[in-house]
């Protein structure tokens, strides 16, 4: 009996110790740092936010490290991009986390892809001969701040649902965020007016939403098919198209190898724009700052200067 009490006391001490750091009202884990930054913007001090992936990381291929399952174990809410972007790693973590709250279809799981307007939903029969195609549509919607705002609205509602006593604060934060992003967007659109109709080459099919927002034309991709690395004949044809259509710039995410992209850009010639794959949330960057940074790079490229 005494042993049992000792054990009970020990367990209590350990769980207290482990529970101590979580002072915020909601512990939110997001798959990508962009989602973390948006959640922090609308959650404020009431939420503690952590992103599973880093902004420097390719979100398609994240290692299901056990410590990430540990983060999910203690989460009240898991927010994912959806559209199968995280299919290769998130299910393992969700199952290993032993937290039924954050399993799909529970209130503690939010698939953010239900909020934006999804582009590039494949028509007809989809199979993997198309490469790494996402049957639900293109998942890279957070490059468009309008979609970012839609996602922020959805996250706010879920936070308010899970933590009703702070609902008013979440909505107030959203109003502020919405004001800021709309104001910033007017400026961004003015600065990037020259992008309208501009022919642009990209590495991966991540440009759909950016193109939809800014009105440029993605004419070719260095990857012959999504997820298939560039090969010489395809690169040659991209270069030919780039020259013929007078591509204004070449976009590549910071997590892709850039030697080929640099070569093609220099041969067209067109400036190369390295797009940061996500908000550097860990360093304290906000989603608006991340888009601002992207806009700055595009603006420079419009002026003919690369990175």
Partner 1 sequence: MSTVSRRPSDALIVVSVVTLLSTASAAAQEPSPPAEATPPAAEAGTPGEAPPAELSPEELEEIQKALGSDTQEAQQNAPSGTASAPQSTPGGNTLAVPGLNTSGTNFLDLSLVLDVAAAAFTAKEPLQTGGHDPTRNGFNLQQLELSIGSVVDPYFRFDANIVFAQFGVEIEEAYGTTLALPANLQVRAGQFLTRFGRLNATHPHAWDFVDQPFAVGRVFGGEGNRGLGTEVSWLTPLPWYVELIGSATDAVGEGTARSFLGASDERVLSPLDLQLTGVVKQFFPLSDNLSLLWGLSAATGPNPTGHRNRTDVYGTDVYLRYRPITEASTTLVTFQAEGFYRRRQVPGDVLTDFNAYAQAAWRFSQRWATAVRYELGTPAKGEGGATVVDPLDPDWTEDRQRVSANVTFWPTEFSRLRLQGATDRVGWQQSPEYSVFLALELVTGAHGAHAF
Any contact of residue 98 with partner 1 (CB under 8 A)? yes
Counting contacts by CB under 8 A, is residue 306 touching partner 1?
A: no
Tokens in use for 68?
A: 């990430």
**Residue 66, phi then psi, degrees to nearest 5:** -60, -30
Sole window of 32-40, 93-101, 171-179, 291-299 interacting with partner 1 (rule: CB under 8 A): 93-101
What's the length of the chain?
307
Q: Report residue 218: phi and psi, to 5°.
A: -75, 110
| Phi/psi at 141 (5° precision) | -80, -10
| The one segment of 57-65, 180-188, 190-198, 213-221 that binds partner 1 by CB under 8 A | 57-65
Instruction: Tell me the C-alpha to C-alpha distance, in Å, between residue 261 and each of 10, 53, 234, 258, 265.
Output: 57, 25, 12, 5, 6
Report whether 170 contacts 152 (CB < 8 A). no
* Smaller CB separation from partner 1, 134 or 248: 134
- CB of 276 or CB of 300, closer to partner 1: 276
For partner 1, what does the binding mask look like between residues 259 and 298, x meaning CB under 8 A? ----------------------------------------
Beta strands 217-221; 109-111: pairing state = unpaired
Whole-angstrom distance, CA of residue 28 vs CA of residue 65: 18
- Check residue 130 for interaction with partner 1 (CB under 8 A): no
Closest to partner 1 by CB, 18 or 240: 18
Q: Cα–Cα distance between 260 and 250 in angstroms, integer? A: 11
Candidates 88-96, 189-197, 208-216, 287-295 — which segment interacts with partner 1 by CB under 8 A? 88-96
- Tell me the β-bridge partners of 49: 28
**Which residues in this chain contact partner 1 in the complex, by CB under 8 A?**
14-15, 17-19, 54, 56-57, 63-67, 69-70, 73, 80, 82-84, 86-92, 94-98, 100-101, 103-107, 111, 113-115, 128, 131-132, 135-136, 154, 157-158, 161-162, 164-165, 227-229, 254-258
């Amino acid at each position: 009996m005494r042993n049992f009490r000792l054990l009970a006391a020990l367990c209590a001490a350990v769980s207290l110790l482990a529970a101590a750091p979580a002072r915020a009202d909601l512990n939110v884990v997001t798959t990508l740092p962009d989602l973390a930054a948006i959640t922090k913007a609308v959650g404020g001090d009431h939420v503690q936010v952590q992103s599973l992936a880093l902004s420097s990381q390719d979100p398609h291929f994240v290692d299901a490290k056990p410590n990430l399952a540990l983060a999910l174990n203690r989460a009240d809410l898991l927010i994912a991009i959806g559209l199968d972007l995280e299919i290769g790693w998130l299910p393992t973590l969700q199952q290993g986390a032993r937290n039924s709250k954050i399993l799909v279809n529970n209130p503690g799981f939010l698939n953010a892809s239900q909020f934006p307007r999804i582009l590039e939903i494949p028509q007809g029969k989809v199979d993997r001969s198309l490469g790494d195609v996402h049957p639900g549509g293109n998942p890279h919607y957070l490059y468009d701040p309008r979609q970012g705002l839609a996602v922020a609205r959805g996250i706010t509602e879920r936070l308010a649902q899970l933590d009703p006593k702070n609902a008013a604060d979440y909505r107030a934060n959203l109003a502020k965020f919405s004001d800021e992003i709309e104001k910033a967007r007017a400026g961004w659109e003015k600065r990037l007016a020259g992008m309208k109709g501009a022919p642009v080459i990209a590495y991966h099919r991540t440009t759909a939403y950016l193109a939809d927002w800014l009105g440029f034309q993605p004419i070719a991709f260095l990857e012959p098919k999504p997820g298939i690395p560039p090969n010489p004949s395809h690169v040659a044809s991209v270069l030919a198209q780039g020259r013929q259509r007078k591509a204004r710039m070449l976009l590549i995410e910071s997590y892709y190898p850039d030697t080929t992209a640099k070569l093609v850009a220099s041969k067209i010639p067109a400036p190369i724009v390295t797009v940061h794959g996500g908000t550097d949330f860990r360093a304290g960057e906000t989603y608006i700052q991340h888009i601002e940074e992207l806009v700055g790079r595009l603006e420079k490229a419009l002026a003919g200067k690369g990175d």
